[in-house]
Structures are given as C-alpha cells and as structure tokens.
Amino acid sequence: MDCPPNIPVFHRRIFWDVDFDTLDYDKKANFIIERVFERGDVPDIRNCRRYYGDEKIREALTNAKWLSLRTIYLSCAVLSNELTDYRCYITAQSNPEHWRY
C-alpha cells in the first residue's frame, strides 16, 4: 500500500463506518483526531501527533462534545493538561446521572 509521505497511516478498523479511501485529513481533522484517540492504539496516536501536531490535537480534543473518560485521561497524559480543560468533562460534571443500584 503506497501512500504519499505526508499522509498518516491509520488502521482501517478505526474508521469502520466511513469510506476510508475518501477521508479528507484536513477537512475532517477534528473527527479523525477524536476517532484516533478513542479507538486507535499507540502507533495510530503517534502518527496523528506527527501529522497534526499537539496544538491542533489539543484544540480538537478540548472542544469535543463527547469523549470517554478513558480518552480524556489519555489525552491529559499525552498533552500535559488538566481534566477541567475539556468541554465534555465540564458538561458531564454539570449533568450528573442517576445512581446505579
């Protein structure tokens, strides 16, 4: 599989529900970054960081409408920021769920 040198290589399994061959890495940057951090493994995250850079990734993840708590903790460790920097974390704290018995 030959790819241009500036295009990151991600596993197709991350984007199982979209047409992988027609993904536009610049127009859909936020979608790709969120999906890679949610479902990707370490090489995928490294490729994402090389292609987009930490500032673009920080902007995309801190403004995401929803991320799992695991992904928020991972991105805090990778990007060296706080939980309270994430919009989805603040929203979840403002809307607590009922207790599960």
The predicted structure's pLDDT at residue 80: 92
Cβ proximity of 61 and 86 under 8 Å:
yes
pTM: 0.83
> What pLDDT is stored for residue 62 in this prediction?
94
Sorting pLDDT into bands at 50, 70 and 90, what band is 5?
A: low
Per-residue pLDDT tens over the stretch 18-58: 998 898 899 999 999 999 999 999 999 999 999 999 999 99
**Residue 75 structure tokens:** 């991105």
Q: What are phi and psi of 54, to 5 degrees?
A: -65, -35
Contact assessment for residue 27 and residue 35, using Cβ atoms and an 8 Å cutoff: no
pLDDT (mean) for 6-20: 87
Residue bearing the bigger pLDDT, 85 or 4: 85
Percent of the chain with pLDDT over 90: 57
Q: What is the DSSP letter of 67?
A: -
First to last CA, the chain: 51
